[in-house]
Amino acid sequence: MKHRYALNSVCLLVMLCVTMLTAGCNKEAEEALGTLEWDRVNGRAPASEVITAILVTEGTRVTKGETLLTFDDRKIAAQYSEAEANLEQARWRLSELKSGPRPQKIAEVRARLEGATAVRDNDRELYLRQKQLYESTFSSKEQLDNAYSRYLNSRERVNEISQNLDELLEGTRSEVIEQARSQVAAIEAQLVRLQRVREEYTIQATQDGLVDSIAYKLGDRPPAHAVVTTILAGNYPWARVYVPEPFRASLKPGESYQLKIDGIEELFAARLRTISSQASFTPYYALTESDRSRLSYVTELDILDERAAELTAGTPVQLVLEKQ
C-alpha cells in the first residue's frame, strides 16, 4: 500500500514538471505596445490673405518643390516695388556723390557768390553814407539801423555761398559717400527680406510625401501662421512604442527587430532608431525596485518593409521583445 502511494506521488510530480516545462515552452514572447506614426510637415499661412489657388488634393503624392497652394500677394508685391524704386534712387545718389560736383554747378555757385558780393559791397556803402547823415543829424537812428541790418544780412549771405563753393571745390567727403553706400546696402537687404516673404505666399512641398490634409478652401482667409497644409513625409511610416523597463538594457539602436501590426498576420522588419534615456512618467529614483519594472521608455523604430507604405498613422503595433 505504501509502495503504491509512493509510486503515485512520483507520477504526479513528473506530470507536474512536464506541465510546467510545456507551459514555459509555449509562453508567448513579450511585446511593447505602440502606434504607427508619419513625419508630418505643415505649411503655414504667411499672413491673413485670401487663398487664390489650390493645386493639389488630399491623398495626392507630391515631390519636393511642388506648389500646393498660393495666397494673394498684391500687398507684399507693392512693398517690393516701392523698395526697388528706393534702391534705384539711392544708387543714383551714391553715383552722384562719388562723381563729385559738376563744373556747371561750381560755375553757378561762383556766379551767385559774385552777385552776393556786389550786393554786400553796395549795402556797405549805403550803411556808411547813412552813418554820415546820422552824424550830421540829417538821418534818424531807425534809418541807420535798417541800413546796418541790410549790410549784415548781405555779408552773411556772402559767407554762406562762399562756404558752399569751398565744399564743392573740395569734393564730397568720404563719410558722406560711406553713408550713401550703407543706405544702398540697407535697401538691398530689405529687398532680399521682402522677396523671401513674397515666396512664402506660395506654399510648396519641402519634402517628398503624401498630402494628408488641406485645412481651408479656395477663397478662404486663414489667420496668420495657421496650418493650411499637412504632408506625410517619407516613403514609410515609423513606429513609436513604449518598452517596459526590464527590456530597456537589451535594446540597441541600429539593430533589427520585428513588429506586429494589427490586422496583418505577417511580421514587419524594423530598425531601432532611438530609445529614450528617461522614463515616460515617474522618474526611476522615486520608485522602489519592484515598481521600477513598470516604467516605460519611448522607443522609435524605422520600418523597413515596403508594405508599410500604405499603412495609416495611429495603427496599433507591437514590438516583439526577447528578455536577455
| Residue at 82 is within a domain | yes
Residues 104 and 175 in one domain: yes
Residues 218 and 315 in one domain: yes
Could you report the per-residue pLDDT of 220-257, keeping only the tens digit for each?
999 999 999 999 998 889 999 998 888 888 889 999 99
Angle (CA) 96 97 99, round 5°: 65
Residues 100 and 59 in one domain: no
Please report the pLDDT score of residue 288 as a whole number.
53
Please report the pLDDT score of residue 18 as a whole number.
43
Please report the pLDDT score of residue 284 as a whole number.
56
Q: End-to-end alpha-carbon separation of the chain, Å? A: 48
| Residue at 217 is within a domain | yes
Residues 261 and 298 in one domain: yes
State the total domains in the chain.
Answer: 2
Residues 106 and 184 in one domain: yes
Please report the pLDDT score of residue 221 as a whole number.
96
Domain boundary among 196, 225, 257: 196
Residues 160 and 267 in one domain: no
Could you report the per-residue pLDDT of 119-165, keeping only the tens digit for each?
999 989 988 888 888 888 777 888 888 888 998 999 999 899 888 87
Angle of helix 141-170 versus helix 103-135 axis, rounded to 10:
160
Please report the pLDDT score of residue 291 as a whole number.
56
| Residue at 148 is within a domain | yes
> What's this model's pTM, rounded to 2 decimal places?
0.61
What is the separation of C-alpha 75 from the centre of its chain, rounded to a whole number of angstroms?
21
Please report the pLDDT score of residue 175 as a whole number.
84
Q: What is the mean pLDDT of residues 196-213?
A: 93
Q: Is the pLDDT of residue 6 over 90?
A: no
Please report the pLDDT score of residue 187 as a whole number.
96
Please report the pLDDT score of residue 203 as a whole number.
96
Mean pLDDT of the chain: 84
Q: What is the 3-state secondary structure (H, E, C) of 236-266?
A: EEEEEEEEEHHHHHHCCCCCEEEEEECCCCC
Could you report the per-residue pLDDT of 103-120, keeping only the tens digit for each?
778 788 889 888 999 999
Give the 3-state secondary structure of residue 208. coil
Please report the pLDDT score of residue 287 as a whole number.
52
Residues 119 and 61 in one domain: no
Q: Is the pLDDT of residue 9 over 80?
A: no
Could you report the per-residue pLDDT of 18-60, keeping only the tens digit for each?
444 444 444 456 788 899 999 999 999 999 999 999 999 998 8
> Which one is predicted more confidently, 142 or 183?
183
* CATH number of the domain residue 299 falls in: 2.40.30.170
Angle (CA) 28 29 34, round 5°: 120
Residues 85 and 181 in one domain: yes
Q: Distance of CA 230 to CAs 64, 91, 302, 309, Å? A: 13, 43, 21, 17
The boundaries of the domain holding residue 305 are: 29-70+212-321
Q: Is the pLDDT of residue 14 over 80?
A: no
> Which one is predicted more confidently, 84 or 2?
84
Model confidence at 8, pLDDT cuts 50, 70, 90, reads: very low
306: cell is 515596403
Please report the pLDDT score of residue 24 as a whole number.
46
Q: Is the pLDDT of residue 290 over 80?
A: no
Greatest CA span in the chain, whole angstroms?
172
Q: What percent of the chain has pLDDT over 70?
A: 85
